[in-house]
A = this chain, B = another copy of it.
Amino acid sequence: MRLTTVSHIVLGLVDQAGEATPYDLKQMAAGLSDLWSVQHAQVYREPGRLAAAGLLSEEKEEGGRRRRRFRLTAAGRAALRAWLAEPTADFTELRDPGLLRLFFGADAEPLARVQLEAHERKLREYEELAAAWPDDAPPGPRLALEAGLGHEREWVRFWRQIRDRSGAARRRR
């Protein structure tokens, strides 16, 4: 079985939690969605595949909601560690829908306004998150948040400049 990014996310989340039901995974994945979003259908299917491949153990509850409860096996832990230890040089394209429109000649000012507002909101959200961050939390998520902060600041700077520039250009006309 080929392991996808979603596989590794599920392995990583189960590792963090110790054990997890699909619903637990769904909740945890929601907290990760600004970095890498995962659909609920995937989060319910993927652990089954991973269990079939021997990377997770599965335990079924009898009564009630008949939850499936997953844990890492030794093989799963090894697979996760191997993935973490690959110092990948890959990075992805920006894939930004607003920027794409700008590329193809969209009118900059209205676009800049709505983009700026959206990114300012996201930046505030991150700042609040960072301010409330517990000192004893693991470092990984904190570093990811710092990266997010940096990029949101950059987006705000970028769109603000676009807005001001095109505003000035309009006034000159």
Contacts and interface: CB of A to CB of B under 8 A. Distances in A.
A124 to B, nearest CB: 15
B147 A94 contact: yes
A88 B119 CA distance: 12
A104 B5 contact: no
Interface hub of A83, A105, A158 (most chain B Cβ within 10 A): A105
Contact of A89 (B104, B108, B114, B154): B114
Contacts of A86: 101
B103 A89 contact: no
Dominant SS among interface residues on chain A: helix
Given A5-B97, A154-B154, A162-B143, A89 B115 contact: yes
Interface string A57-95: 000000000000000000000001001111111111111
A96 B92 contact: yes
Copies in the complex: 2
B158 A34 contact: no
A91 B140 contact: no
A91 B97 contact: yes
Given A157-B150, A162-B143, A92 B97 contact: yes
A167 interface: no
A5 B100 contact: yes
Nearest to A13: B104
- Counting from the closest, the 9 A-B pairs by CB-CB distance are A12-B104, A87-B110, A84-B106, A89-B118, A103-B144, A89-B114, A87-B111, A103-B140, A87-B114
